Amino acid sequence: MRRSKKTVTETLPGATDRRVAALVTLLAENATFVISGARVAREIGVSRSTVWKWVERLRELGVRVKGHPRTGYFLEKVPDILTADMLRQRLKGSLFGKHIYHFLKVDSTNRVALELGHAGEPEGAVVLGEEQTAGRGRAGRGWHSERATGIYATLLLRPKLAPVQAPLLTMMAGLSAHAAIQAQTGLTVDLKWPNDLLIGGKKVGGILTEMHAEPAQVRFVIVGIGLNVNQDKFPAELAARATSLRAASGRPQSRLELLVRLLMEFERDYNDFLSEGPAAVIDRFTKVSSYAYGKRVRVSNGREDVTGTTAGIGPEGLLLVKRDNGQVMTVIAGDVTEAL
């Protein structure tokens, strides 16, 4: 992948054209005023027909732009779109405010972030998608990524950690998301080891951490975070198991506000983790997660199913489960579900 000093939105194939973002900003700054198509075209530096094409694309994303080329355009409502410019403004001075890659449509933000990591992109890069066509979930599953309703974000980190400690970042990210959601919505969120955010037992978010490491040292880690924010329905196969913040709180939630909070929480938690080590993460997780202690669970690792009762989180962030025969096992990987 080619690197240059230019903002990468100009160099990454498929990333949102900065001029589309400028169009959104122009409309947002003049919200409710009619701006002529000619003025938009002049200020953005494209033809009037291109402006029209982009307006149509923005409408598909749920941005409520009224008007047409003859009458001019205006925004009926300032959009909740996650453009890199808007985010950068809100994250000045933050680790995550410098390199933001925004896609209107992308296969997977984790896939892009992995490529960036291999290409030497510095720590703190954020990859965002309004929509993912091949969102990745844990254990080779997919992640339903409906356009402009959820947060689909991947963060690139280069921590000085041993590979064995990297899974703690998944738990830490869960705690950051937990804090951000609770601060914004007041909802009670549960965490299920290692990576699920639940409301009322239904999944509202998940985290997929992937890493590139040498035996003793992590080269980079990418932390992919998916949050269901404003979905009002899910595909039939997910409907019983998934929920969104909108459904749970009864009102739409600003994705921009939530993402800003999340990234600020994440940066604070990450700095604390690097300076103080994993004990505080494990401690916080244990307090917040109803799954940490005393929960009857079934653990499936693809080969066998084991039933037992959770018995805390070990020092490396792995779940401990006391089997019915009294033996305590450490869960390294696998699906944990409540056993009723």
Where does this chain bind ligand BTN (CB under 6 A)? 108-110, 132, 135-138, 141, 143, 152-154, 195-196, 206-208, 224-226
Q: Which is nearer to ligand BTN, 222 or 281 (CB)?
A: 222
User: Least distance to ligand BTN from the beta carbon of 226, Å?
Assistant: 3
Q: Please say which residue, 185 or 209, places its beta carbon nearer to ligand BTN.
A: 209
CB 39 within 8 A of CB 74: no
Amino acid at 314: G
Minimum CB distance to ligand BTN smaller for 110 or for 244: 110
CB of 106 to ligand BTN, least distance (A): 9
* DSSP string computed for 228-283: --S-S---HHHHTTB--HHHHHTS---HHHHHHHHHHHHHHHHHHHHHH-THHHHH
Q: Least distance (Å) from ligand BTN to the CB of residue 134?
A: 7
C-beta of 131 vs 269, nearer to ligand BTN: 131
CA 79/CA 230 separation, integer angstroms: 13
Q: Which is nearer to ligand BTN, 41 or 225 (CB)?
A: 225
Distance, CA of 221 to CA of 273 (rounded, Å): 15
Among the listed residues 10, 2, 15, the one whose alpha carbon sits nearest the alpha carbon of residue 119:
2
Our CB check for ligand BTN shows the closer of 65 and 222 to be 222
Distance CA 156, CA 44 (A): 31
**Which residues, listed in sequence order, are joined to residue 335 by a DSSP beta bridge?**
300
Q: How far apart are CA 154 and CA 223, in angstroms?
A: 5
**48, two tokens:** 């009037």
Give the integer Cα–Cα distance in Å for 291 and 195: 12
19 touches 45 (CB < 8 A): yes
- Provide the minimum distance between the beta carbon of 176 and ligand BTN in the complex, in angstroms, as a whole number: 14
Counting every residue, how long is the chain?
A: 340
DSSP 132: B
CB of 132 to ligand BTN, least distance (A): 6
Report the nearest approach of ligand BTN to the CB of residue 153 (Å): 6
Asked if 52 and 69 count as a contact pair (C-beta separation under 8 A), the reply is yes
Which lies closer to ligand BTN via its Cβ, residue 90 or residue 138?
Answer: 138
> Measured from the CB atom, is 196 or 267 closer to ligand BTN?
196
Nearest distance in Å: CB 182, ligand BTN: 19
Give the residue carrying structure tokens 């962030």. Answer: 317
CB of 205 to ligand BTN, least distance (A): 7
Residue nearest to ligand BTN (CB): 206
Structure tokens at 218: 């992590």
**Residue 141 or residue 233: which is nearer to ligand BTN going by CB?**
141
Asked if 219 and 158 count as a contact pair (C-beta separation under 8 A), the reply is: yes
CB of 177 to ligand BTN, least distance (A): 11
